[in-house]
Amino acid sequence: MRLLFVVEGVAAEEQQHIKFLEQQLPLETLREGGEIGSSHVPVYSTHGTETGSIGEDTPSERRERKKWTLTEDVVLISAWLNTSKDPVVGNEQRAGAFWKRIAAYFAASPKVQGGEKRESIQCKQRWQKINDLVSKFSGSYEAATRQKTSGMNENDVVRLAHEIFHNDHKLRFDQKWCEVATSKIDGSCKKRKGDDGAQSSSSYATTTDGEHCPPDVKASKRASAKKTNEDISELQSLCAIKEKDLEVKEKLSKMGLLQTLIAKTEPLSEFEEALKKNLITEMLVVSHGLLFSQSGALEVVYSGQQEERLERKKRVYIERKREACHIRLWNDYFSETPTYLENLFRRRFRMNTRLFMHIVDRLSNEVHFFRQKKDGLGRLGLSTLQKCTAAIRVLAYGTAADTVDEYLRLCETTTRACVEKFVEGIINLFGDEYLRRPTPADLQRLLDIGEQRGFPGMIRSIDCMHWEWKNCPTAWKRQYSRGSGKPTIVLEAVASYDLWIWHAFFGPPGTLNDINVLDRSPVFDDIINGQAPQVTYSVNGREYQLAYYLTDGIYPKWATFIQSIQIPQDPKAVLFAQRQEAARKDVERAFGVLQARFAIVKNPTLFWDKVKIGNIMRTCIILHNMIVEDERDGYTHFNVSEFQQGDDARSLHVDLTYSTDMPSNIANMMGVRTRIRDKQMHQRLKADLVEHIWCKFGRDEDNN
């Protein structure tokens, strides 16, 4: 509705403007039937014509300009909107092709049939004018909305918006030539010098001596720049005066100190005697322009302004005593009788001592940066324990790089280098093992756990989390910002019951929701390419061959996704919703534990490079999985030995002989993709799961 108001306002404004110009143009111009703005110079034009060339014929007649009607404006707006929202092409095309499509859409509209054909450049220019006025009116409407008082309806707000639009944008043009137009109507304009007094059809409207045209944009900028230069020169003069005052005060202070030393009756110390000589020498140099050479001769020099010599700032060396720091670190945590016990080590390093030492040994043996080396004087450098501890502390506590300096004796740059090398080393050494695809044995164990929890064929749960990017580049902020206004990066993860993260897809901008991230994610690539093991299971007497994930309500209704029931009506649906939501919390718990273990993922990231941010996220997930593997037996709620039965006792089966190296053609890939997105199979599987859970847990619910 607001856009139609602006379009009508544009047409009305053009009609008023043309009427205003027709009143100012001579009658001879109107009788000739010329188009305003085509071949005649308006009264306010800066281009003049000679009086002798009025009667001459022009070599070629200009084509009459066709004005845009309100209907054409509406069709043009519709063409732009439909072309921009094309789900296939959209805005990602060249400007020439984009406006050609708009012109073709405009020409094909039945509302403009029979009219003049509009070229693409004409549509582009007209749209730019409409867009500019719409933007201005939108601002006027927002201002009118803020000024809305009690008792005003929508029509009053629109009327107030038109008034604001008229005052802020239209009157800028009207006031500039108001005095000129008034003087032309009153007939009080002066004639040019040398004019014989005869009336001419091309006479010029000039202002009187007391009237002046308001300054244009360039004149205003020049005046502003001149004023800025004057302010800068005035500030410089004030600074010079202040410096002179400081010099005078310094001279007076030195003179007072010299008088105090001279007035002393007792003998002066060596320091006071040297200070006295320096002050006397400096006073003589400043006052008389004399410098004393080492031989005692006097040399006359000019005592004007002396050039300031900026000494190069020397790098400050801090003796951190890194050897003593290594000994203290070893005695605190790694000796036979450490100061801090195993529980404090687990709290501060996020893992057990055995696992941390395993990581330290691998890094020291296979990464050159973490080996302890000697400098040119034969002094040992930082130890591997110091470097790895600094990296773990930064990842675990999410603090700045210089916070470990007091305990580990590493400066900020060295700590940052340790973090970057530690991240790269963890990914290269442990990434293939702890970010792997599930093996057939892993898949069989996950399916057994899923069946025990009431969901046969369920392997894991999937969801997304956001990591705030504090130092996101300004050019990318809108792309990565959500409703909160803060830029974030999305992590899509798949987690199992033991909090192991099997799939991690990190990098999409924060403006994408879970469905958009799923479209970019490679979570189903192994199934589509035929590289996933075959799975067969039965639910409620029916056999299925695609495992599924538990998700929340935003994910699509595919055969590989099972959501909860939003508003359950009967006891079966209520029980299914409770069981599904409880099992789906695995991935939510994994996100919570990951952020609790590594606060750098919880706090806004301070890095600028997105590649480094992605490496930090991958490293935290790898370390998280290593900790899960090391401590899995201590917190698991299921006895895995119960599922180590014969294959005949299971209702599900993983084909271990299925070859994952077999080539897959495009037809098979499209068929698997269609099976994954089958909505009918999703509804059938969900209904069978409801019945299965009721048969398995319904009696327990009734007894309770």
Domain ranges of the chain: 1-10+71-80+99-120, 325-433, 438-636+649-698
Q: Across the strands, what pairs with 688?
A: none
* pLDDT tens string 553-570: 899 999 999 999 988 889
3-state secondary structure of 568: coil
Q: How far apart are alpha carbons 629 and 645 in whole angstroms?
A: 23
Averaged over 458-479, what is the pLDDT?
Answer: 91
- In sequence order, the 6+-apart residues with CB closer than 8 A to the CB of 183 are 189, 205, 206, 207, 208, 211
Residue 422: exposed, middle, or buried by beta-carbon count in 10 A (0-12, 13-18, 19+)?
A: buried
Over residues 264-270, the mean pLDDT reads 80
Q: Does the pLDDT at position 588 exceed 90?
A: yes
**Pairing status of strand 535-539 against strand 652-654:** antiparallel
464 pLDDT band, cuts 50/70/90, is very high
Burial class (CB in 10 A: 0-12, 13-18, 19+), 543: exposed
Q: Using CA atoms, how far apart are residues 373 and 117, in angstroms rounded to an integer?
A: 79
The answer to whether the beta carbons of residues 522 and 646 sit under 8 Å apart is no
Angle at 335 between CA 331 and CA 337, to 5 degrees: 90
In SS3 terms, 631-691 reads as HHHHHCCCCHHHHCCCHHHCCEEECCCCCCCCCCCHHHHHHHHHHHCCHHHHHHHHHHHHH
pLDDT value, residue 301: 37
Higher pLDDT, 195 or 689: 689
Instruction: Show Cβ contacts of residue 668 under 8 Å, excluding neighbours closer than 6 positions.
Output: 530
Residue type, 680: Q
Q: How many CB atoms lie within 10 A of CB 9?
A: 20
Q: Which residue has the higher pLDDT, 148 or 313?
A: 148
Q: What is the pLDDT of residue 667?
A: 77
Q: Report the pLDDT value the prediction gives residue 557, as an integer from 0 to 100.
A: 92
Q: What is the mean pLDDT of the chain?
A: 77
pLDDT-derived band of residue 92, with 50, 70 and 90 as boundaries? Answer: low
